[in-house]
Amino acid sequence: MFGNGMTGDPASRISDLLVPKASFFTWLDSLRERLSIIGPVAEEGRAVFREIASSGELYMEYESTMLSPGKVYLCSPREDLFRLSFGKGLSIEEPPRDSAQRIIVGIHACDTNAVLYLDRTFLGTFRDPLYEERRRNTILIALNCGTASKNCFCSSVGTGPFLKVESGYDMLLTDFGEDYLVEIKTAGARRLFDVDDIRGAGHEDFRLKDEKERSALRTFTKTINTEGLNKLLRENPEHPVWRHTAEERCLSCTNCVMVCPTCFCYDVVDEISMDMKTVRRYRQWDACQDTRFAEVHGGNFRARRSARLRQFVTHKLDQMHQYGVSGTVGCGRCITWCPTGIDLTEMAKQVQGK
Burial 168-201 (b: 16+ CB within 10 A, else e): bbbbbbbbbeebbbbbbbbbbbbebbeeeebeeb
224-229 long-range Cβ contacts below 8 angstroms, 24+ apart? 224/153, 224/156, 224/157, 224/345, 224/348, 224/349, 225/156, 225/352, 226/156, 226/157, 226/317, 226/326, 229/317, 229/318, 229/348, 229/351, 229/352
Nearest Cα to 258, choosing from 283, 289, 279? 289
Closest CA to 140 of 172, 163, 176, 175: 172
Around Cβ 225, how many Cβ atoms within 10 Å?
A: 12
pLDDT beneath 70, residues of the chain? 1-13, 319
Dist CA 287 CA 277 (whole Å): 31
Distance CA 338, CA 141 (A): 29
What is the β-pairing status of strands 102-108 and 138-143?
Answer: parallel
Q: Are 73 and 7 in contact (CB under 8 A)?
A: no
Residue 213: the pLDDT is 98
- Predicted confidence at residue 13, as pLDDT, reads 59
pLDDT digits (tens, 9 = 90+) for 211-249: 999 999 999 999 999 998 988 999 999 999 999 999 999
Task: Give residues with Cβ within 8 angstroms of 169, minimum separation 6.
Answer: 4, 5, 11, 107, 112, 115, 140, 141, 142, 163, 185
- Which residues does residue 102 pair with via DSSP β-bridges, in sequence order? 36, 138
Which pLDDT score is estimated for 10?
41
At 14 the pLDDT is: 72
- Inter-residue contact 52 to 218 (CB < 8 Å): no
Residue 5: the pLDDT is 47
| Cα 36–Cα 128–Cα 331 angle in degrees, nearest 5 | 65
Using one digit for the tens of pLDDT, what is the confidence trace for 251-301? 999 999 999 999 999 999 999 999 999 999 999 999 999 988 888 888 888
Question: For 128, phi and psi rounded to 5 degrees?
Answer: -75, 115
User: In whole angstroms, what is the distance from residue 340 CA to residue 250 CA?
Assistant: 7
Which sequence spans correspond to the domains of the chain?
15-76+96-217, 229-264+287-351
Rounded CA-CA distance 56/18 in Å is 20
Cα–Cα distance for residue pair 335/256, rounded to 1 Å: 7
Rounded-to-integer distance, Cα 45 and Cα 103, Å: 24
